[in-house]
Copies of this chain bind each other. A is one copy, B any other.
Amino acid sequence: MAVATTPVNVDRQLAWTAAGPAPSPFPAALIAGSANPRLANRVERALAIRLAACTTERFPDGEVFVRIDESVRGLEVVLLQPTSPPVNDHLIELLAMADACRRAAAARIVAVIPYFGYARSDRRDGRRTPIMGSLLADLMERAGIGHVITLDLHTPAVEGFFRIAVDNLTAVPVLADTLRARVPSDAVIVSPDLGASHLADRYATILGLPVAICHKHRISGNHVSISRVTGDVAGRPCVVIDDMITTGGTIVECVRTLRAANAMPDITVAATHAVLVPGALRRIASAGVRKLIVSDSVGVTGEPVKELRPIVVSVAPLIATAIRRLLDGGSLRELA
């Protein structure tokens, strides 16, 4: 698995002369949970702020133990923890860290949650289910979190589930930068369903490419539906984009539809969150995908597959910029 080494600058402010991590020059503390230590280290370097000492352990019976090992009294604490799988463990750990900071008299607690688990549970559709996104928003506020920074939320409604400030950053510019050199100029950005069409528009605008959309189409009033693609893909290279990949099922179906529509066989896929369950990578590779570009919002897991080595673009500079502006009081609008 290769991390893109080409400098991916979000904006100029990122080019800090980071001679090495130093204690925070702001009255703030940066604390990382156990969910994505590699990303945490990259953010640490990009910010040139040393991560505060923190112990996160699991007891033999699976209970999470958290201890903050530096004073956070009166500080603005930034917790960095995606709620990636195992999602429940990472979630409870995040809440535990917030509780510890609150009881240690932190002035304010900001949670940076690059991947926000359970975001797809945003409606009930007439069934007696929870709305997990709404429940988690409530629990996070209750645990003392006062501000959330996240990345390419699956659904914008999650912002409204909170009453506090939520900043939804986007990895599209950094992913698009990496795509630029890798796709020909006659490529088409393809959204695998209606839900991702807004995201596809963002890629298309940055890259100057047209958009096509795959979607299920109900032929008659009964429950039979077929996948169709809207937009011209015949004979063109396709870049399928999505916010996240879990089982790869959506991607695989989209690839099939594109092939049926005579798209060029060499298909590229880009997604912000690589929540790859076992077998997902192989499944995508088997469908014929040859390039996969993802961010490091989630530690990319799953057994490696020879034919498909994901290109991982780091969102650490983006997150570092967001944290820096947060502490400076600057605007986050252009990162969203």
Q: Which residues of A contact B (CB under 8 A)?
A: 27, 59-69, 71-75, 85-89, 91-92, 95-105, 117-118, 121-135, 138-139, 142-144, 147, 155-157, 159-168, 194, 197, 201, 204-211, 213, 215, 217-223, 228, 230-231, 246-247, 275, 277, 325-326, 329-333, 336
A104 interface neighbour in B118, B165, B247, Cβ under 8 Å: B165
> Are A132 and B210 neighbours in the complex by a CB distance under 8 Å?
no
Partner of A209, one of B123, B132, B197, B220: B220
Q: List 30 A-B contacts (CB under 8 A).
A: A61-B277, A62-B87, A63-B118, A63-B121, A63-B132, A65-B129, A67-B128, A67-B129, A68-B129, A75-B329, A95-B130, A95-B135, A96-B130, A98-B130, A100-B129, A103-B165, A105-B167, A122-B160, A125-B156, A131-B159, A135-B143, A138-B142, A139-B139, A160-B160, A204-B221, A205-B218, A209-B220, A210-B221, A211-B217, A211-B218
Q: Please name 15 further chain A to chain B contacts, defined as beta carbons within 8 Å, in addition to the given A62-B86, A63-B117, A205-B222, sorted by A numbering.
A: A59-B246, A61-B247, A73-B326, A74-B326, A99-B135, A123-B157, A124-B159, A125-B156, A128-B333, A131-B159, A134-B160, A134-B161, A139-B143, A204-B218, A210-B219
Nearest CB of chain B from residue A237's CB, rounded to whole Å: 15
6 shortest interchain CB distances as A-B pairs = A157-B157, A99-B130, A208-B221, A74-B329, A71-B331, A123-B156
Q: Which of B73, B86, B102 contacts A332 (CB 8 A)?
A: B73
List chain B residues, Cβ under 8 A from A165.
102-105
**Known contacts A73-B332, A333-B71; A60/B217 CB under 8 A:** no
Specify which of B60, B64, B208 is in contact with A88 (CB 8 Å cutoff): B64
User: Contact: A230 with B247, CB < 8 Å?
Assistant: no
